[in-house]
Structure 1
């Protein structure tokens, strides 16, 4: 009998939770009633690379998505599709390695918890390879090299392509940060000196599940994020859902774009839905 839930892979980058916000009160926007969403908006962010008017239009679309959904797709983001495909391929080949070889990269062997996380004995059913960066005092590439990495013999090209993807996604994340600032009628660099750490990234693999199991043992149980925001790429297996203000679960269908999830209790006061759960 084939598994009810197939194996799937995701690439996730989180902008850090460590934000210095000492003047947040003046940022408050007029509260607007949230409407129950039935789908996830797709936003063309090519304007973020254009003139001031184009950037403002993207910021307005992101503001609306944050107020009413708390989650949105972004297309025309500028990251090479070939790089994404290469990173996904590298991740899949890594997770296909024998467990004993992956455990040589156990995250507990590193000071910054960067490395391999095996499937837990209880709770969420997934494994991941994590890039942890630490304090924002040097370049992101230098910071993530403190991680433990598989050898070239074990995973040819893995470190090179993962670092290249991390750099591209990190640069995009700061573009997204600038859009959040513009959405609040602030300078586009407002959050640059508020971020105390660099983004972290996870390559995640959810093994196939052969039967319906409860929330406690799902690939990842229902939750909200605590980081500034999360950027997610998921493969072709439909697995992600969001809960709207009516308590209904809405599919976030896998399409060939990136997905952005705003944090729990967003530090910028966008009057988010109380049900920004996925």
Structure 2
């Protein structure tokens, strides 16, 4: 029996149980590549992070965002779009799908920021990344937070490395480490996210947003989400139609990012799919006469190649998709281009 099944949302589930068995490993790898080709999003179960550790990660996330604003601001996000570390208050970041030449248009930039993103976040990276040093809260503000944050960062990286290995096997690349060897783990980003309660009407009228439709920039993203709902993924067969990505207990969501899409030669093979965070569709997700949304917490982990890695169509994918559709680009250059409008 295949380890990949469909659920109501149309997003496949891949079960990594039995990864250490050679036959099962090949089946898992094939299922994963099919899911990434068909949808670009996939639920992964039996991924290797214990339930207790995931619960602890959400406990720390809630403790962090429960702190008073002035205490969270003791670890402020650096000015500008280049360094993604520390605390970002609601409205500081603006997520969009605008980049390239449009990012230089002041009118586009101004129009984007007229609708504020109602979320707050805290970014953590590797201590080996000199370009993006971590910005920590004072230890006495939230004792133990930094230690857990770094431990969870590397736990997520271990899972991501297994997923990259599965993708390499499923794509029949020249070696199982073809992708892991250019992902040291030092350029990833662990993001703790909190979406405060907001009136549903503000989201319905689009006077405020949670997170607008966008693709992720890196290779892959791992996402842990609470049971609140609100994440939606664009239907691969109908542009502009979004479907709910309902949380699965103890599972994680994995999606293809732009760099892996470029490696596999654009939308013809592995998809970097538009997704957004908006209103959950179930009425019991609202509270009170003002129809306040529930608070939502999520923890994405963005896997990024080492900065000098040249991202270009892999030879093995040319036979699947035809001539390369993108010019080669260094990972660091692509990230800089995409980040230009994220922070003023």
Q: Distance in 1 between matches of 2:124 and 2:62?
A: 16
The answer to whether the aligner puts 1:262 opposite 2:251 as a matched pair is: no
What TM-score do the two structures reach when normalised by structure 1? Answer: 0.76
User: Structure 1 residue aligned with 2:228, among 237, 247, 258?
Assistant: 237
Check whether the contact 2:125–2:153 (CA below 8 A) recurs between aligned residues. Answer: no
The one of the two structures with greater contact order (alpha-carbon pairs below 8 A, sep at least 6) is 1
Partner SS for 1:130: strand
Shift of the alpha carbon at 1:112?
4.2
Q: Distance in 2 between matches of 1:216 and 1:201?
A: 29
What TM-score do the two structures reach when normalised by structure 2? Answer: 0.62
Q: Distance in 2 between matches of 1:91 and 1:217?
A: 23
Q: Distance in 2 between matches of 1:162 and 1:275?
A: 27
Unaligned segments of structure 2, at least 5 residues = 1-7, 93-112, 276-344
Q: Distance in 1 between matches of 2:197 and 2:146?
A: 26
Q: Distance in 1 between matches of 2:210 and 2:83?
A: 24
The answer to whether the aligner puts 1:42 opposite 2:35 as a matched pair is: no
Shift of the alpha carbon at 1:190?
0.7
In angstroms, what is the RMSD of aligned CA positions?
A: 2.5
Superposed CA offset, 1:221-272 (max 9, x none): 0111121111000001011011112232111001121100111371332724
The answer to whether the aligner puts 1:178 opposite 2:165 as a matched pair is: yes
Check whether the contact 1:69–1:272 (CA below 8 A) recurs between aligned residues. Answer: no
Paired positions, count: 234
Q: Distance in 1 between matches of 2:140 and 2:271?
A: 48
Distance 1:188 1:105, change over 3 A: same
Distance 1:253 1:155, change over 3 A: same
Shift of the alpha carbon at 1:108?
1.3
Q: Which residue of 2 aligns with 1:224?
A: 215
Check whether the contact 2:229–2:246 (CA below 8 A) recurs between aligned residues. Answer: yes
User: Structure 2 residue aligned with 1:207, among 196, 212, 220?
Assistant: 196
Structure 1 stretch displaced more, 65-74 or 263-272: 263-272
Check whether the contact 2:221–2:254 (CA below 8 A) recurs between aligned residues. Answer: yes
Structure 1 stretch displaced more, 260-269 or 183-192: 260-269
The answer to whether the aligner puts 1:193 opposite 2:181 as a matched pair is: yes
